[in-house]
Amino acid sequence: MKIKNLLLAAGLLACGTATAGPYSDKLSDCLVGKSTMDDHVILVRWMFVAISRHPAVASMATISDANVDNANKQMAELFTRLLTVTCRDQAKLALKNEGEFAMQQAFQKLGQQAGSEIFINQDVAKGMSGITKYFDKKKLQELTSP
Protein backbone atom coordinates (compact mmCIF):
# COMPACT_ATOMS: atom_id res chain seq x y z
CA MET A 1 0.00 0.00 0.00
CA LYS A 2 1.33 3.41 -0.89
CA ILE A 3 1.84 5.89 1.94
CA LYS A 4 0.04 8.54 -0.14
CA ASN A 5 -3.06 6.34 -0.34
CA LEU A 6 -2.88 5.52 3.35
CA LEU A 7 -2.77 9.23 4.18
CA LEU A 8 -5.68 9.87 1.84
CA ALA A 9 -7.66 7.19 3.64
CA ALA A 10 -6.91 8.88 6.95
CA GLY A 11 -7.98 12.20 5.50
CA LEU A 12 -11.38 10.83 4.64
CA LEU A 13 -12.40 10.59 8.28
CA ALA A 14 -15.82 12.04 7.76
CA CYS A 15 -16.54 10.58 4.34
CA GLY A 16 -17.97 7.38 3.00
CA THR A 17 -21.20 5.52 3.40
CA ALA A 18 -20.30 1.96 2.50
CA THR A 19 -20.57 -0.86 4.99
CA ALA A 20 -17.47 -1.91 6.84
CA GLY A 21 -16.25 -5.48 6.84
CA PRO A 22 -15.32 -7.62 9.83
CA TYR A 23 -11.64 -6.64 9.71
CA SER A 24 -12.28 -2.91 9.52
CA ASP A 25 -14.82 -3.35 12.31
CA LYS A 26 -12.14 -4.91 14.50
CA LEU A 27 -9.71 -2.16 13.59
CA SER A 28 -12.37 0.44 14.37
CA ASP A 29 -13.06 -1.17 17.73
CA CYS A 30 -9.37 -1.10 18.53
CA LEU A 31 -8.88 2.51 17.44
CA VAL A 32 -11.90 3.74 19.38
CA GLY A 33 -11.35 1.50 22.39
CA LYS A 34 -7.65 2.06 22.84
CA SER A 35 -7.31 5.71 21.88
CA THR A 36 -7.32 8.22 24.70
CA MET A 37 -9.06 11.54 25.22
CA ASP A 38 -5.70 13.19 24.46
CA ASP A 39 -5.61 11.27 21.17
CA HIS A 40 -9.10 12.52 20.36
CA VAL A 41 -8.06 16.10 21.07
CA ILE A 42 -5.17 15.73 18.61
CA LEU A 43 -7.56 14.34 16.01
CA VAL A 44 -10.17 17.06 16.48
CA ARG A 45 -7.55 19.80 16.38
CA TRP A 46 -6.19 18.36 13.14
CA MET A 47 -9.67 18.23 11.62
CA PHE A 48 -10.35 21.80 12.74
CA VAL A 49 -7.09 23.05 11.23
CA ALA A 50 -7.85 21.26 7.96
CA ILE A 51 -11.43 22.53 7.81
CA SER A 52 -10.28 26.07 8.59
CA ARG A 53 -8.53 26.15 5.23
CA HIS A 54 -11.80 25.81 3.32
CA PRO A 55 -12.79 29.07 1.59
CA ALA A 56 -16.23 29.00 3.23
CA VAL A 57 -14.74 29.40 6.70
CA ALA A 58 -11.17 30.59 6.14
CA SER A 59 -12.04 34.17 7.09
CA MET A 60 -13.45 33.01 10.45
CA ALA A 61 -10.29 31.38 11.81
CA THR A 62 -6.70 32.50 11.47
CA ILE A 63 -4.34 29.64 12.10
CA SER A 64 -0.63 30.15 11.63
CA ASP A 65 1.40 27.92 9.35
CA ALA A 66 3.34 26.81 12.43
CA ASN A 67 0.10 25.67 14.10
CA VAL A 68 -0.96 23.86 10.92
CA ASP A 69 2.40 22.14 10.75
CA ASN A 70 2.22 21.20 14.44
CA ALA A 71 -1.28 19.76 14.04
CA ASN A 72 -0.11 17.73 11.03
CA LYS A 73 2.94 16.49 12.94
CA GLN A 74 0.90 15.44 15.98
CA MET A 75 -1.70 13.70 13.82
CA ALA A 76 0.97 11.87 11.83
CA GLU A 77 2.52 10.64 15.07
CA LEU A 78 -0.88 9.56 16.39
CA PHE A 79 -1.80 7.86 13.12
CA THR A 80 1.52 6.01 13.04
CA ARG A 81 1.32 4.93 16.68
CA LEU A 82 -2.26 3.70 16.42
CA LEU A 83 -1.58 1.66 13.28
CA THR A 84 1.91 0.35 14.02
CA VAL A 85 1.80 -0.15 17.78
CA THR A 86 -1.60 0.11 19.46
CA CYS A 87 -3.68 -1.66 16.79
CA ARG A 88 -0.93 -3.22 14.69
CA ASP A 89 -2.43 -6.70 14.38
CA GLN A 90 -5.88 -5.39 13.50
CA ALA A 91 -4.41 -2.92 10.98
CA LYS A 92 -2.39 -5.63 9.24
CA LEU A 93 -5.39 -7.94 8.95
CA ALA A 94 -7.67 -5.15 7.79
CA LEU A 95 -5.24 -4.01 5.09
CA LYS A 96 -4.58 -7.58 3.95
CA ASN A 97 -8.24 -8.58 3.77
CA GLU A 98 -10.11 -5.37 3.02
CA GLY A 99 -7.49 -2.98 1.69
CA GLU A 100 -7.38 0.79 1.97
CA PHE A 101 -11.13 0.98 2.43
CA ALA A 102 -10.68 -0.57 5.87
CA MET A 103 -8.51 2.38 6.89
CA GLN A 104 -11.18 4.83 5.73
CA GLN A 105 -13.89 3.04 7.68
CA ALA A 106 -11.83 2.63 10.84
CA PHE A 107 -10.63 6.21 10.98
CA GLN A 108 -14.08 7.49 10.09
CA LYS A 109 -15.43 5.80 13.22
CA LEU A 110 -12.58 7.17 15.31
CA GLY A 111 -13.26 10.65 13.91
CA GLN A 112 -16.95 10.33 14.71
CA GLN A 113 -16.16 9.28 18.27
CA ALA A 114 -13.72 12.14 18.79
CA GLY A 115 -16.12 14.63 17.21
CA SER A 116 -19.04 13.52 19.35
CA GLU A 117 -16.97 14.15 22.47
CA ILE A 118 -16.49 17.75 21.35
CA PHE A 119 -20.23 18.33 21.03
CA ILE A 120 -21.00 17.19 24.58
CA ASN A 121 -18.77 19.91 26.00
CA GLN A 122 -20.95 22.47 27.83
CA ASP A 123 -19.36 25.48 26.13
CA VAL A 124 -19.81 23.95 22.69
CA ALA A 125 -23.41 22.98 23.45
CA LYS A 126 -24.12 26.49 24.71
CA GLY A 127 -22.63 28.00 21.56
CA MET A 128 -24.67 25.73 19.34
CA SER A 129 -27.88 26.42 21.26
CA GLY A 130 -27.61 30.05 20.22
CA ILE A 131 -29.34 29.06 17.00
CA THR A 132 -32.66 28.74 18.83
CA LYS A 133 -33.07 32.50 19.25
CA TYR A 134 -33.28 32.80 15.45
CA PHE A 135 -35.81 30.05 14.83
CA ASP A 136 -39.13 31.11 13.37
CA LYS A 137 -41.13 29.32 16.03
CA LYS A 138 -44.45 29.98 14.32
CA LYS A 139 -43.34 28.28 11.10
CA LEU A 140 -41.86 25.37 13.01
CA GLN A 141 -45.06 24.91 15.02
CA GLU A 142 -47.01 24.74 11.75
CA LEU A 143 -45.20 21.49 11.02
CA THR A 144 -47.13 19.79 13.81
CA SER A 145 -50.48 21.42 13.03
CA PRO A 146 -53.10 19.57 10.97
**pLDDT at 1 (0 to 100):** 46
Cα-based torsion angle of the residue sequence 102, 110, 67, 2 in order, rounded to the nearest 10 degrees: -10
Tell me the pLDDT tens digit for each residue of 23-52.
999 999 999 999 999 999 999 999 999 999
Q: Chunked in runs of 10, what are the mean pLDDT values of the chain (146 residues)?
A: 47 51 94 95 94 93 94 96 97 94 91 89 91 92 89
Q: What is the pLDDT of residue 5?
A: 44
**The pLDDT of residue 6:** 46
Q: Is the dihedral of CA 55, 61, 64, 67 positive or negative?
A: negative
Looking at residue 8, its pLDDT comes to 45
Q: What is the pLDDT of residue 145?
A: 86
The whole-number pLDDT of residue 119 equals 86
pLDDT of 4: 47
- Tally the C-alpha atoms within 13 A of residue 59's C-alpha that lie toward its C-beta: 2
Contact 124, 118 (CB under 8 A): yes
Give pTM, 2 decimals: 0.76
At residue 18, the pLDDT reads: 53
In eight-state DSSP terms, residue 19 is P
Distances (CA, A) of 140 to 60, 76, 129, 132, 133: 30, 45, 16, 11, 13
Q: What pLDDT does residue 32 have? A: 95
> Is the CB of residue 109 less than 8 Å from the CB of residue 30?
no
In this structure, the number of other CB atoms found within 10 A of the CB of residue 47 comes to 19
Backbone angles phi, psi at 2, to 5 degrees: -80, 140
Residues 6+ apart with CB under 8 A from 113: 32, 35, 40
